[in-house]
Amino acid sequence: MSSSNSSFNSRSRFGGMNKKSKELKFALKNGGELGGISNDGNTCFMNSVIQSLASSRQLLNFIDSYFYQEIEMNNGEKIIKIKSNQPNSELVFTQALKKLFDDVNGKYGNRGKEFSTKPILNKMPNGPKQNFFTGYNQEDAQEFYQLVMGLVETEYKKTIGQTDKKNNFKNDDEKYWDINQIPNLLSGCDDLGKLGNVYVPASQVDPNLVDADHKVFPLNLITPVDGVSAERIGCVACGEVGGIRYSVISGLSLNLPQKESYYSKYTLDGLMNDWITPEIIEDVNCNRCGLNQTKEFLNNKIEESTNETLIKNFKERIELIDNELAKNHVSDEAFEKLTTKQMIRKTKKSKQILLSRPPPLLSMHINRSVFDPRTYMIVKNSSNVAFPAKFDLSSYVAEPKDINMDARLPFRKQDERTIISQQSSGNGVEDYPTSSESPSSDNSQSSESTPGEDINMKEDIVNANTASTDVSNNSMITEPANPKLVYDLKAVISHYGTHNYGHYICYRKLRGTWWRISDESVYVVTEDEVLNSQGTFMIFYEFNDGFKEILEPLGSDDEDQEPSNEKKSSPQELDDDSSDENSSSDDGQMNINNTSAKTDSLGNTIPDSQDEDEYESSGLSDDNAVNATKDADYNVGEERAFHI
C-alpha cells in the first residue's frame, strides 16, 4: 500500500479496461484520470464518502454560492456587493473540504495524483471518534457522511448569521405564518432543487388550529442533502389523524431484510416500497374512539336512569363530548377530562412515511446489519441490491395537496383509484372506505386539480388546508408523474467484507465517465459494471436541473478502432446525464441480473455457488487477506476487497 506522499508507479492507471474501449478513450479526451486519496489507516470509509460527494454538482454549486467573501463597492450611484477572490474566513472546514474536492476532480491524464484526508480532519472542530482509526464499524461511512454535511451546514449558517430556532416558538403567531405575507412561497415539489424555506399547510400540522386556511408552517432546507418527509399516524377504525409530522431529513436509511439465502436479491424499488409500507400498531388508545364509547355508555345510562339530576349531568357531559368530537382532532387533555379509565378503547393505528420534497442530492444508506438468532450477534447481510441509473421517485412522494387526512384512506389521494380497483376485482385488498364514505365538513372545498392545470402555489396551500378534513371530492383524479422526480445516479459506495471488518470502495461519475476508486487506485469502468456491483452500502442520486456538460466527443478515428463487439455511442450518449447503453434495455428498465464475477482480495474468482459465510471463514478474509495482498504483485484491476 502506498503512503500519502508516494507517487504512482509506471503501470497503467486504468486497470483491466480494454485499451481500445471507447470509455477509456472518452475519459482521456476529457481530462483523463481523477485524483485518488491515500489510505492513512482505516480511512477507506472517509475516502469513499469524499469521492462520492465530489461528484455532486448540486453540492459543489452550493458551496461556491457562499464560499467567497462579499465586498462593497461604490460605483458612484450606489453601493453594490460583489464577490471577492478570498474565501470567507469563517469557513475553516469548508475551505479544506473544497480544496480536496477540487483536487480529486482534477484532470490528470493517464497518470493521476494522490491526496490525503488529513487536511480536512485537522480542521474538524469535533473530529472523528478515535475508534474510527483504531477499530472498525460497518456504519463508519454513513456516520462520516453525516459528520461532514453537519459541519458544512454549521459553517454555512455562520456566514449568513443564522441560528437554530428548532421548535423554540413562544406562540402560534411565530410558529405559523400568514400565507399572504410570503411573496415567493415554495410548497411540495415546486421549484424542486431550490433551497430555503418550504411551507406546509398549518391545518395538516395542527388539525385544530383556528383560522388555519391561510396559515403555513415553515421548514428550512439548508444544504442540498436536505429534504422533507411526511409521516401520518391515524386510527384505522375512525380515521382520525392527529396531524402530519413533517420533518427535514438529510437522507434515507433503508433496512435490508434478513437474507433468506446467499442468493437473495433485492431491488432499490423493493426496499423503498418496504420503507413506505404502512406499519400497523396494535392495542393503542384512540381518543376519538374512546369518547364515542363514553358517549354511548352515557346514553345507555340515561335510558336506564330515573334520577333527573343524574340524567341532566349525563346530558351535559354528552354535549361537551359532542363539542370535542366536532373538532378535527380530539386532544389528550379533552379525552382525560371527559372520559373515565373504563372507557379507554384499544384500537389499531396505521403509521406511514413518504417523502414530501426530495432533496437535490438524495443519499440512500443500505442498512445491512441484521441480528443472527444462531449466534446472537449482529452480522452483515451481504445480499445483492440492484439499482437503476435513473430512479423515479414519483411513487414515494406525497405532496401536501395529495395527502388524505383520514387514516382509513390511502396516504395519497392519487392511490385511491388503485385500491378501489383492487377491491372491485376481488384481490383480497383490505377494505378502505371510498371518498364518499368519509365524513366531510360543510365548508370543505375540492383540493384536486385536473392534470396539467397550472395552479398558483398559494392556492395549492389554501386547497390543502381546506381539504385536510375533506376527502370526498375529486379524489379519484390521478395527476401525471412529475418528470423532475427522475433522479440521476451520481455515486455508489460498496462495502466488502464482514460486519466487523472490510473495505470500502466508490464508483462515481464525472465528466461523462464512470470511475471505480479504491483509495489511491482510480480507473475507468462501464456503467454496466457499476449497476452490477456488489456490496452496495450507500447510493447517491441527484436532481437533474437540466444542465448539460460540454464534453469532447470521440472522433471518427477513435470509433474506427473500437472492438467490433462494442456498440458505438453518439456524443449525446456519452453526455454526463446519459446512461451507458449496456445498463438498461430499450424500455428503460434496468437489468437486475448480476453478471459480474466475485473475486477475493487477490483477484481470484469465487464460484457463484460458494456461500459467503464459507468464503469469509476460508482464511482468505480479514488479516490473512491483508497479508496475502501485501505479498502479491498487486494490479489496479484486481479486487482489493479486504485491505485496511
Which is catalytic among the residues 44, 286, 289, 506?
A: 44
Q: For residue 477, what pLDDT is reported?
A: 40
pLDDT at 436: 37
Task: Report residue 49 as a C-alpha cell.
Answer: 464518502
Residue 235 DSSP label:
E
| Confidence at residue 171, expressed as pLDDT on a 0 to 100 scale | 53
> pLDDT by residue (tens digit) across 391-450?
999 999 999 999 999 999 999 999 886 655 555 655 544 444 443 344 333 333 333 333
pLDDT at site 110? 86
Q: How far apart are CA 496 and CA 505, in angstroms?
A: 8
Q: Contact at 8 Å (CB) between 129 and 74?
A: no
Q: How far apart are CA 196 and CA 194, in angstroms?
A: 7
Letter string b/e over residues 381-402, b meaning 16 or more CB atoms within 10 A of that residue's CB: bbbbbbbbbbbbbeebbbbbbb
Contact partners, residue 182, CB within 8 Å, separation at least 6: 199, 216, 458
- The helix/strand/coil state of 101 is helix
Look at strands 521-525 and 536-542 and give their pairing: unpaired
Burial of 436 (0-12, 13-18, 19+ CB in 10 A): exposed
* pLDDT, tens digit (0-9, with 9 covering 90-100), for 104-124: 999 999 888 999 999 999 998
- Please give the grid coordinates belonging to residue 559: 470509433
Question: Which three cell numbers mark 11?
Answer: 503501470
Residue type, 516: R
Please, which residues bridge with residue 177 across strands? 216
Amino acid (one-letter) located at 160 = I
Cβ neighbour number for residue 123 with a 10 Å cutoff: 17
Question: From CA 57, how far away is CA 59, in angstroms rounded?
Answer: 6
- As a whole number, mean pLDDT of residues 48-77 equals 90
Residues of the chain above pLDDT 70, percent: 67
**437 is written with which cell numbers?**
364514505
Is the predicted pLDDT of residue 188 greater than 60, yes or no?
A: yes
With contact defined as beta carbons under 8 Å apart, do 195 and 222 qualify?
Answer: yes
What per-residue confidence (pLDDT) applies to 538?
A: 96
Predicted pLDDT of residue 640? 32
Q: Are 38 and 121 in contact (CB under 8 A)?
A: no
Q: Is 138 left (phi over 0), alpha (psi -120 to 50) or beta?
A: alpha
Mean pLDDT, range 203-209, rounded to an integer: 94
Name the region of 76 (left: φ>0; alpha: ψ -120 to 50; beta: rest). Answer: left
For residue 629, the model assigns a pLDDT of 36
255 against 421, higher pLDDT: 255
Q: How confident is the model at residue 586 (pLDDT cuts 50, 70, 90)?
A: very low
Other beta carbons less than 10 A from residue 347's beta carbon: 18
Strand, helix or coil for residue 71: strand
Average pLDDT for 170-189: 82
Active site residue 289: no
Least confident of 127-141, 305-319, 328-342, 386-400: 127-141
Count of C-beta atoms within a 10 Å radius of residue 283:
8
Region 544-565: mean pLDDT is 72
pLDDT above 90 (res 206):
yes
Cell numbers found for residue 253: 436509511
Query: Which residue has cell 399572504?
Result: 180
Which residue is listed with cell 464577490? 83
pLDDT bucket at 10, cuts 50 / 70 / 90: very low
Three cell numbers written together for 199: 411551507
At residue 161 the predicted structure's pLDDT band, cuts being 50, 70 and 90, is confident
C-alpha radius of gyration, the chain, whole number: 29
Looking at the predicted structure, is the pLDDT value of residue 65 above 50?
Answer: yes
620 close to 607: Cβ distance less than 8 angstroms: no
Per-residue pLDDT, 490: 98
Compute the distance between CA of residue 552 and CA of residue 27 in angstroms, rounded to an integer.
9
Question: CB atoms < 10 A from the CB of 154, how many?
Answer: 15
Q: Is 442 exposed, middle or buried (0-12, 13-18, 19+ CB in 10 A)?
A: exposed
Strands 241-249 and 346-357: what pairing? unpaired
Residue 506 bears catalytic tag: no
pLDDT score at 174: 73
- Give me the catalytic one of 329, 503, 506, 643: 503
pLDDT over 90 (residue 31): yes
List helix spans (H) across 283-377: 287-304, 308-325, 332-338
pLDDT tens string 467-505: 544 433 333 344 446 789 999 999 999 998 877 788 999
pTM over 0.85: no
d(CA 629, CA 641) in angstroms, rounded, equals 10
Query: What pLDDT band is residue 95 in, cutting at 50, 70 and 90?
Result: very high
576 has a pLDDT exceeding 70: no
Q: What's the grid cell of residue 624?
A: 490473512
Residue 609 has pLDDT above 70, yes or no: no
With a pLDDT cut of 90, the percent of the chain lying above it is 48
Cell match 484526508: residue? 117
Instruction: DSSP for 484-538, please give it.
Output: GGEEEEEEEEEEEE-SSSEEEEEEEEETTEEEEEETTEEEEE-HHHHHT-SSEEE
In one-letter notation, the amino acid at residue 479 is: E
Q: In the numeric block, which cell numbers belong to residue 458?
A: 398559494
Supply the angle between the helices 308-325 and 287-304 in degrees, to the nearest 10.
160
Task: Judge whether 479 and 453 are in contact, CB under 8 Å.
Answer: no
- Spatial separation of the C-alpha atoms in residues 150 and 251, rounded to whole Å: 12
pLDDT at position 81, please?
A: 74
Q: How confident is the model at residue 209 (pLDDT cuts 50, 70, 90)?
A: very high
- Give the best-scoring range by mean pLDDT among 167-181, 378-392, 603-617, 627-641: 378-392
Q: Where are the alpha helices (DSSP H) in 305-440?
A: 308-325, 332-338, 416-424
Place of cell 396539467: 452
Q: What is the pLDDT of residue 508?
A: 97
Instruction: At 352, list the grid cell.
Output: 406511514
pLDDT for the residue numbered 221: 96
Please provide residue 269's backbone torsions phi and psi, each rounded to the nearest 5 degrees. -60, -45
Residue 418 CA, chain-centre distance (Å), reads 26
| Amino acid 502: pLDDT | 86
Amino acid 128: pLDDT: 58
Question: Which grid coordinates belong to 642?
Answer: 479486504
515 DSSP β-pair partners: 508, 524
